[in-house]
Structure formats: structure tokens, C-alpha cells
Amino acid sequence: MFLFILVSLLFAVLIYFLFNLRSFFNRKSLPLPPGPKPWPIIGNLPHMGPMPHHSLAALARTYGPIMHLRLGFVDVIVAASASVAAQFLKVHDANFSSRPPNSGAKYIAYNYQDLVFRPYGAKWRLLRKITSVHLFSGKALDDYRLVRQGEVAVLTRALASAGLKSELVNLAQLLNVCTVNALSRVMLGRRVFGDGTGGKDPKADEFKSMVVEVMVLAGVFNIGDFIPSLEWLDLQGVAAKMKKLHKRFDKFLGEIVEEHKMNSHDAKGKQTDLLSTLISLMENPDDEEEKLTETEIKALLLNMFTAGTDTSSSTTEWAIAELIRHPEILTRVKNELDSVVGRDRLVTELDLPKLTYFQAVIKETFRLHPSTPLSLPRVAAKSCEINGYHIPEGSTLLVNVWAIARDPDEWAEPLVFRPERFLPGGEKANVDVRGNDYEIIPFGAGRRICAGMSLGLRMVQLLTATLIHAFDWDLPSGLTPEKLNMEEAYGLTLQRADPLIVHPRPRLTPKAYEV
């Protein structure tokens, strides 16, 4: 074993010097972007630290908004300003439309068979089209508006019941159950977790832990991804954990698909949900080019049940936490909701466009707490020039969404939670989060922008508005809003270090909580 490790390290050293020599000759006359000096072999991996989006933001203050790092043998370009991000994601979007190799896609996402990590091409466009038409189009979102409102109403009743019993609740867990069931009713035609309340449901608890684990593992900078000759050693144990987690997800998803195959159509043979459509494309496609495999279906379901649920629930949790910490803002939002909705019913999606100040609160939450602090990596199909620097072919691109949204050159008082900046007359009155304004891109931008952006926005807005409108929120005894822990737990998505534990107190008339 020692001999194998020694040979692997020597081979890695040889490849390192050859790689540097090739990069030197391929660079031509343009310099690489500035960046910290890499260590031998491992490069700048030690610079990433436990919270890479923080570490990279600090490095950008020294080296500038476009940086070059060497992670192992991989060139990595980091964009840390709105203008630089626009160069990559708008001007050079086509060149950066694919994903680099990574262990998460290999071991968890069915070896790149999903939508999120699949290389750009015909099959990726097919999967994107299927989800866009059947799940995320304006028509599909309107068709299933009552489903989302129904699941939020179930959550509201569960919280009201807990409130009347003076119980504390783990808001993150209940939000996750709600988002999973809202999505699964559209995708599968049924809830995944019981009656939707999430109360005493071990399957819901296990699923939440699986989703958090996949986001944590996918956010690790795995040495094997950057030094391929050391991949087999799995020095951090990441690959082994990914393989084990994949088996759990595959069992969960496999049971869903097999059950649905037995009952994928209604009595008239009409397709009733997304999974039925996917199964028909597997069994009887109209066009062979649109034929899907069962693995591709499970990979797509994996995307939806992880990225499509945890991001919405965690963003809502951050929003409630910020409002608890800022009671004057919370009061203003409640007053707006009471004036538009009243106190005799729950918020509906039709109310949301009328809530001007509330919409600003949501934008400010996305700014300070983007669900994906570092964009999912992209790869340069060919070398190019950006801002006078040489970007090598095969470079991995990381956009520091978190740092851009806190850039003092773009934002006044960037660390302050101040929704007024998005109101008429504010510094960013016309800025939106949908990928066109690069100073705030929580969903990314360009070809690989988050496919579920429209659904995510609706869920976050509906959940947050309902929780603010329907309840007053008390913290556990002895904890004041000023002392509420707002630290982050890094992963592919931005979780709270401590889940938000709160006591909900109903504030509407009793009939508002009735079935």
C-alpha cells in the first residue's frame, strides 16, 4: 500500500510539472488573472478554508474581482463582481455552458445523467424542455397554484396547533416537508410524507437529513476532483460517503418510479403528472430522440427533490430569522399584509404582486442569503480573453454570488438588512433576482440558470408571506432577537448553522386556519 501511495504521489508531481509547462506555452502573450501563489501539487486548496465563499471574497479584496487559482491540476477562475460575472455569464455564456467533472455528479447524480450536472447538449436541452413545459412554465405554475396553497395551508394549521399548545417547532423541518409535498403532488400526484404536517414522521426527518448531507458533500472541494491520480485514495472519505448516500436516494427514488409505473395514468389514460410523462417517454416515446432511461428519470427526480425543495425552505427560514431580528421591518410587513389580505383568510399567490414592501424583503433575503453562495461550476470549452486576461481551455469557473451581493462598490451598507434599497427611490429600485441584474443572481444567469427559478420564487414568497401574516414568532426562553445565531453552515446550499427553533402564536381569526 505504501508503495502504491508513493508511486501515485510521484506521478502526481510529474503531471504537475508537465501541466504547468503546457499551461506556460499555451498562455501566449496574455497573463492569467491575478491570484495567490499556489502550493506545489495541491495548489490553492488550502486557501479555500472551511467557508470557501468567505475565503474567496477575502482573496478578491486583495487580488481583484477576477482571480486565477490552481486547485491541484485544475485552473479555476473566480468572478467576484457584477461586471466580471456578466462577462462570463452573458458575453461568454456559450463558452461556459457545460460542467466540469466532479465526484458529486459521478457518485450521487447517476454519473452525469441528471439535469443539473449533465454536459450541455441535446439530451440536456430535452430534459430542460420537459421540466420547463410540464413543471415550470407559467401555465403549469398557474395550474398547480391551488396545490401549493393547499400544502401551505396544511403547514399553517400544523403550526397553529403547535402554537395553541405552546410548543416550540423546528421551522426548517416543517418547511422542508411542505416544499417536498407541494412538489411531489405536482410531480407524482401524491404527497411523499403522510398528511403533510410533518409531525412525528421519521421518513420526513430522514429525508431532510439526506438532503442536507447531499448539499454538504456536494459543496466539499474534493482533492480527487483536482488531483486525479489521488482520486482512488479518497483521502477525505468523500467518495465513500457519496456512494453510500446515493444508495439511499436510489432506493427512495426507485420505489417511487416502480409504484408509479403501476398507476401512471388515470382511468381515461390521460397523463396526470410529470412522472407519468417521463415514464411515457421511457416506454412509448413519439420520437426516439426523446426516449428516456429509468436512470435519467431517477436522476431528474433527484434534482427536483433536492435542489427544488431545500433551497426554498432554507431561504424562507433565513427570511423569518431576519425579520425576527428586525422587529420594525416585521411590523411594517405585517401591516402591509393586513391591509391587502385582512385577518380572516390566508395569503394566496394572487395577493403577492400587491405586496410592494414584502417583495423588497424577499429580494433583500436573496441578496444576503443566496441559496447557492458559490455558483455551480462551469467549464471553459475553449480558451478566451476576458478583461485583458487569458482564460485557459478547461478552466473551471466559480461565480461568488455571495460576495457579489455584498460588494460595497455595488451596495450601500452591504451587510445591513435593508429592504428599502429595492423600493422606488432606493439605490436598487429596478433590480430583480431573475438573472438579468448581475449584482444579485441567487439563481445564476445565462443558459444554466436555475430551471426551477419561477417555482422557487413563488414558494419562497408564499411561504414567507403566510408565516409572517398568520403568526407572531417567539424565540425559546432566554433567547433575544439580538442573540439569534445567524451563522452559516457551508454546503452547496447555504444552510443555517443552527436550525430556527420558534414558538408560533396565531394572530388571525380562527376561521382563517380552518380546512
6-65: pLDDT as tens digits: 444 455 455 545 555 455 555 558 999 999 999 999 999 999 999 999 999 999 999 999
12 vs 331 pLDDT, higher one: 331
Residue 450 annotated in ligand binding = yes
Q: What is the mean pLDDT of residues 274-297?
A: 87
pLDDT of residue 189: 87
Provide the pLDDT for residue 288.
Answer: 79
Alpha-carbon span 272 to 247, nearest angstrom: 29
DSSP 8-state secondary structure symbol assigned to residue 346: -
Percent share of the chain, pLDDT over 90: 80
Residue with more model confidence, 130 or 16: 130
pLDDT score at 200: 60
With a pLDDT cut of 70, the percent of the chain lying above it is: 91
Judge contact between 159 and 504, C-beta under 8 A: yes
- Determine which of 51-60, 170-179, 183-192, 499-508 has the lowest per-residue pLDDT on average: 183-192
Q: Is the model's pLDDT at 164 over the cut of 80?
A: yes
DSSP per position, 92-147: TGGGG-B----HHHHHTTTTTTSSSSSPSSHHHHHHHHHHIIIIISHHHHHHTHHH
**What is the structure's pLDDT at 193?**
85
Pairing of strands 396-399, 74-79: parallel
The answer for 393, left when phi > 0, alpha when psi is -120 to 50, beta otherwise, is beta
Confidence at residue 5, expressed as pLDDT on a 0 to 100 scale? 47
Instruction: Give the dihedral of Cα atoms 385, 391, 392, 397; nearest 10 deg.
Output: -140
Above 60 in pLDDT, residue 2?
no
Q: Residue 4 pLDDT > 50, yes or no?
A: no
Q: What pLDDT was estimated at residue 267?
A: 44
479, pLDDT greater than 80 = yes
Cβ-contact 182, 459 below 8 angstroms: yes
* Residue 414 and residue 408 in contact, taking contact as beta carbons nearer than 8 Å: yes
From 213-222, 270-279, 302-311, the region with the lowest mean pLDDT: 270-279
Domains of the chain: 2-98 (no CATH), 122-513 (1.10.630.10)
The DSSP secondary-structure symbol of 268 reads: T
**d(Cα 368, Cα 434) in Å, to the nearest integer?**
16
* Predicted pLDDT of residue 199: 58
Q: Has this prediction a pTM greater than 0.85?
A: yes
C-alpha span between 88 and 441 (Å, rounded): 13
Average pLDDT, the chain: 91
pLDDT value for 492: 87
User: Cα dist. 293→41, 131, 186, 289, 305 in Å?
Assistant: 40, 16, 21, 12, 19
Query: What per-residue confidence (pLDDT) applies to 293?
Result: 94
Give the three cell numbers for residue 1: 500500500
Please report the pLDDT score of residue 192 as a whole number: 87
With 50 as the cut, is the pLDDT of residue 506 above it?
Answer: yes
